[in-house]
């Protein structure tokens, strides 16, 4: 059955016409500000979130304490969180990521400014890292 259409030039009516509605009954309220506005204690709490995306976002804060960043770079964190940690450029993180089980994280470590010569040489010959580098450089 065809849909009735409003003739050209008619300002109201039709399937997409504006209609009155009430305000939503649901609102989202949180005790935490955005990561950019969070203080150190709030960042510590956010770093313990069950959501890996939140933990990864914590790494982007300029206020993230070193111990929190080191915790987020540990092997028991999801690869997305470890990858976000290595991309911060904090001193020491690239060497830690150079031995990560995930080749994508190891590949990110290869671009670290503070990666030791030993790890740089090893990663430049790591076939899985080189495969990742080949995929991202296409």
**Per-residue pLDDT reduced to its tens digit, 85-137:** 999 988 889 999 999 999 999 999 998 998 999 999 999 999 999 999 998 87
The position carrying tokens 């005790």 is 31
Q: Is residue 43 part of a domain?
A: yes
Q: Is residue 42 part of a domain?
A: yes
The per-residue pLDDT for range 54-91, each reduced to its tens digit, is 999 999 998 999 999 999 999 999 999 999 999 998 88
Tally of domains in the chain:
1
The distance in angstroms from the start CA to the end CA of the chain is 50
Q: Is residue 2 part of a domain?
A: no
Q: Is residue 77 part of a domain?
A: yes
What domain range is 67 assigned to?
35-136
Q: Is residue 17 part of a domain?
A: no
pLDDT of residue 34: 78
Q: Is residue 18 part of a domain?
A: no
3-class secondary structure per residue, the chain: CCCCCCCCCCCCCCCCCCCCCCCCCCCCCCCCCCHHHCCHHHHHHHCCCCCHHHHHHHCCCCCCCHHHHHHHCCCCCCHHHHHHHHCCCCCCHHHHHCCCCCHHHHHHHHCCCCCCHHHHHHHHCCHHHHHHHHHHCC
Q: Is residue 123 part of a domain?
A: yes
């Amino acid at each position: 059955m065809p849909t009735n259409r409003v003739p050209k030039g008619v300002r109201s009516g039709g399937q997409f016409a504006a209609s009155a509605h009430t305000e939503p009954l649901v609102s989202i309220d949180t005790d935490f500000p955005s990561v950019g506005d969070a203080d150190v204690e709030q960042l510590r709490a956010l770093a313990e979130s069950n959501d890996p995306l939140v933990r990864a976002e914590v790494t982007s804060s300029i206020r993230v304490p070193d111990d929190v960043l080191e915790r987020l770079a540990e092997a028991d964190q999801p690869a997305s969180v470890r990858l976000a940690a290595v991309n911060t450029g904090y001193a020491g993180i690239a060497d830690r990521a150079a031995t990560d089980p995930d080749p994508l994280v190891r590949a990110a470590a290869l671009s670290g400014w503070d990666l030791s010569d030993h790890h740089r040489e090893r990663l430049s010959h790591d076939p899985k890292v080189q495969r990742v580098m080949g995929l991202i450089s296409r």
